[in-house]
Amino acid sequence: MDMFIKILFLVVFFVIMIGVGIYCRKQATNVNGFVLGNRSVGPWLTAFAFGTSYFSAVIFVGYAGQFGWRFGLASTWIGLGNAFIGSLLAWNILGRRTRVMTQHLDSATMPDFFAKRYNSQALKIAASTIIFIFLIPYTASLYNGLSRLFGMAFGIPYAYCVIAMAVLTGVYVVLGGYMATAINDFIQGIIMLVGIVAVIIAVLQVHGGLSESIAQLSAEATKTSAGTEFFGAYTSFFGPDILGLIGVVILTSLGTWGLPQMVQKFYAIKSEKSISTGTIVSTIFAIVVAGGCYFLGGFGRLFGTPGADGKPQGGYDNVIPTMLENLSPVLIGIVVVLVLSASMSTLSSLVLTSSSVLTIDFIDPVFCGKKPMTEKKKVLLMRIFIVFFIAVSAVIAIIQASSPVLFISQMMGVSWGALAGAFLAPFMYGLYMKRVPKIAVWINFVIGLGISIASFICNLTGVSFGNPVLEYFKSPINAGMLAMIAGIVITPLITLIAPAKDTERTEQIFSCYNKKVTVSSKKSINEDADEEIASPVPAADKTPSAKKPAAAKKSGTAKKPAKKGNKK
């Protein structure tokens, strides 16, 4: 009976996912529909698509176990940073401007944005190559953690779990494109919200509830630099390693601003309402899911046993499964579907981004030349590449699990930092600053990749610097943080030294923000209101008048003019 309940959860989940793909297939007949859902995705779907693409099984099983073990309850700050920096600020700073400028440039991908914003086809090819190289190991990492959870729940070999997840994701993405992904992300997001709350409550009850669990965790000790034991470190405000915590918060929060699969969600926004609603919904989603995952991981030491090196026996990926193994069959079924949802939502977003970038930004301009592919051929090729990317990532994941390859596992860790370090600054400043030259974009590419690859090589070869500062930045997480911050600081300096010269073209690009649109009184005060009050007009003589126009910087989409007879 217990096994029947778990299998039933999976069957229902699989049927719904495929059904959505079939339902959305008619909207995926051209490039705009397949990649962006015809830029008509509503606020709730956009918000959930952003959140579910953000958080995967890597967060729930890998990062929550690892950082919860290292930092204790202070790891909750990582989830809050993801919510307020990675979601709230990202939507406010990038959302509207990304939607307006990318539509003005007719851009569907990040490399295409670089090409049209900075007038350089070379930038497009370079950016698409970077995405192609670094998204594959990132995609493969999404399967991490599934082996232990499925082994615990079903006793199914890891390879079968990977294949099932890959096939199911491929079916609905190939059929329905972005719209199928967005709708399934919404369904998967609901599962994640309900699941994480239920799991936290159940796990804390194992040790007598929240207060008793915190009391027991406070009895756990860590070693200080002086060699003495420090009790209560894992329940303290900033944990036992504040510098390490800051690095994780910045990388996992600020990094979303430069990841192509995250930023692309803003391209598909439907309206101004989608931005305001999406900002709130995605932030709340991140607080519950990310905050909940890291908060849960903070109690990992109550369930695991430290080894001789201080790490948990069985590795960090074993922390969360150990916490869950004694839950009821219903809760275990929910957890399995939760982790599947988290992984599949991110996987679908990554492969859709990879296939669209490779087709639109690399193959079409490089190999087709003056005779670009038709819309039908582009969509077909993207579908083929989706299958290719999913297959490659599944093979890498299976190889890594059966015969751990250090090279692969470290490449996975460096992917996030390399992508965000290379793209964050040129994309963000490209939306706000007119004078950014293309040389600044190239320098960002070199810095982002250079720092991340240097960290990767140092860890692969086991180089030790003996300097605490260099050792700190040798970590892939801290190296990724350094790459992003370096780009943010250096780009304005380059702009001062060598500003962009094609000012006329740049002015035309930024004219999209000056387009006049009609907004409601909540967004713009009617300056004629006082005059109307001072000089009232008989009711019979009143005529409707237009509302005060405001710039697109505030709204981004035009509302239809008020119908005759409406009051101001």
Domain 2-404 has CATH 2.60.40.10: no
Helix (H) or strand (E) holding 62: none
pLDDT confidence band for 226 (50 / 70 / 90): low
Q: Is residue 224 scored above 50 in pLDDT?
A: yes
- Contacts of residue 132, Cβ cutoff 8 Å, sequence gap at least 6: 354, 357, 358, 362
Render pLDDT for 125-183 as a digit per residue (tens, 0 to 9): 999 999 988 888 778 777 765 666 666 666 677 788 788 888 888 888 888 888 888 88
Q: What is the DSSP string of 309-353?
A: TSSBTT-GGGHHHHHHTTS-HHHHHHHHHHHHHHHHHHHHHHHHH
Closest CA to 94 of 281, 321, 265: 265
Mean pLDDT of 538-562: 45
Residue 427: which pLDDT band, with cuts at 50, 70 and 90? Answer: very high
d(CA 211, CA 399): 43
For the segment 89-125, what is each residue's pLDDT rounded down to a tens digit? 999 999 999 999 998 998 888 999 999 999 999 999 9
Q: Smallest Cα–Cα separation from 347: which of 16, 91, 17, 99?
A: 17
What's the rounded mean pLDDT across residues 288-308?
A: 88
pLDDT of residue 223: 66
pLDDT at 567 over 70: no
Of the listed ranges 174-188, 281-295, 325-339, 422-436, the one predicted with least confidence: 325-339
For the packed helices 76-83 and 272-297, what is the interaxial angle rounded to 10 degrees? 180
Structural domain boundaries in the chain: 2-404, 405-514, 516-561
Distance between CA atoms of 479 and 465, rounded to whole angstroms?
Answer: 15
Q: Which two tokens stand for residue 298?
A: 């903070």
Tokens of 279: 């900002």
539 pLDDT higher than 50: no
pLDDT, residue 208, reads: 85
Lowest mean pLDDT among 163-177, 213-227, 323-337, 521-535: 521-535
pLDDT band at 540 (very low <50, low <70, confident <90, very high): very low
Report helix, strand and coil shares of the chain as percent, to nearest 5.
Answer: 75, 5, 20
Q: How far is Cα of residue 453 from the mean position of the Cα atoms in its chain?
A: 22
CA–CA distance, 186 with 344 (Å, rounded to integer): 12
Task: List b or e across 510-544, with b for residues whose CB sees 16 or more CB atoms inside 10 angstroms.
Answer: bebbeeebbbeeeebeeeeeeeeeeeeeeeeeeee
